Amino acid sequence: MSQPLRFVLLQLLALAGMAGLWWLAPQSAVWQLALTGGCLAAIVAWFWHDGRWWSLIHLCFPAAVLVALSWQVPSWLWLVAFIVLFLFSAGAIQSRVPLYLSNQRTLALLSQEIPPNAHLIDLGAGTGTVLAWLRKHRPDVTTTGVETALLPWLIGRCRLGRGADWRRDDAFAQNLGTFDVVYAYLSPEPMPRLWQKVQAECRPGCRLISNSFGVPGHNPDKTIDIGDWKHSKLLIWQSI
pLDDT for position 16: 63
CA quadruple 168, 151, 103, 161: dihedral sign = positive
Spatial distance between the Cα atoms of 229 and 231, rounded to a whole number of angstroms: 5
- Contacts for 102 with CB less than 8 Å, ≥ 6 apart: 110, 126, 129, 130, 185, 211
Q: Are residues 123 and 178 in the same domain?
A: yes
Compute, in degrees rounded to 10, the torsion defined by CA atoms 177, 107, 118, 114: -100
Report if residue 221 sits inside a domain.
Answer: yes
User: Which domain does 19 fall in, by range?
Assistant: 3-72
Report if residue 85 sits inside a domain.
Answer: no
- Torsions phi, psi of 210, nearest 5? -115, 135
- CA-CA distances (angstroms) from residue 52 to 8, 44, 46, 98? 17, 11, 6, 19
Spatial distance between the Cα atoms of 219 and 97, rounded to a whole number of angstroms: 22
Q: Are residues 51 and 115 in the same domain?
A: no
pLDDT for position 52: 65
Q: Are residues 146 and 199 in the same domain?
A: yes
Q: Which one of 28, 57, 72 terminates a domain?
A: 72
Q: Are residues 231 and 138 in the same domain?
A: yes
Q: Are residues 65 and 122 in the same domain?
A: no
Report if residue 23 sits inside a domain.
Answer: yes
Q: Are residues 109 and 220 in the same domain?
A: yes
Compute, in degrees rounded to 10, the torsion defined by CA atoms 155, 82, 4, 15: 150
Residue 129 has pLDDT above 70, yes or no: yes
Residue 88 has pLDDT above 90, yes or no: no
Q: Are residues 150 and 34 in the same domain?
A: no
Structure confidence by residue, pLDDT tens digits, 99-125: 566 788 999 999 999 999 999 999 989
Residue 26 pLDDT grade (very low, low, confident, very high; cuts 50, 70, 90): low
Q: Are residues 139 and 60 in the same domain?
A: no
The pTM score is: 0.69
Decide: helix, strand or coil at residue 228: coil
Q: Are residues 194 and 141 in the same domain?
A: yes
Percent of all residues in the chain with a pLDDT value above 90, rounded to a whole number: 45
Radius of gyration of the chain (CA): 21
Q: Which one of 51, 72, 93 terminates a domain?
A: 72
Report if residue 218 sits inside a domain.
Answer: yes
- Contacts for 84 with CB less than 8 Å, ≥ 6 apart: 151
Low-confidence winner among 17-26, 61-70, 72-81, 141-150 (lowest mean pLDDT): 17-26
Mean pLDDT of the residues in the chain: 81
Q: For residue 120, give the nearest of 138, 99, 106, 147 by alpha carbon.
A: 138
Q: Are residues 168 and 51 in the same domain?
A: no
Structure confidence by residue, pLDDT tens digits, 172-224: 999 999 999 999 998 888 899 999 999 999 999 999 999 999 999 999 999 99
* Domain count of the fold of the chain: 2
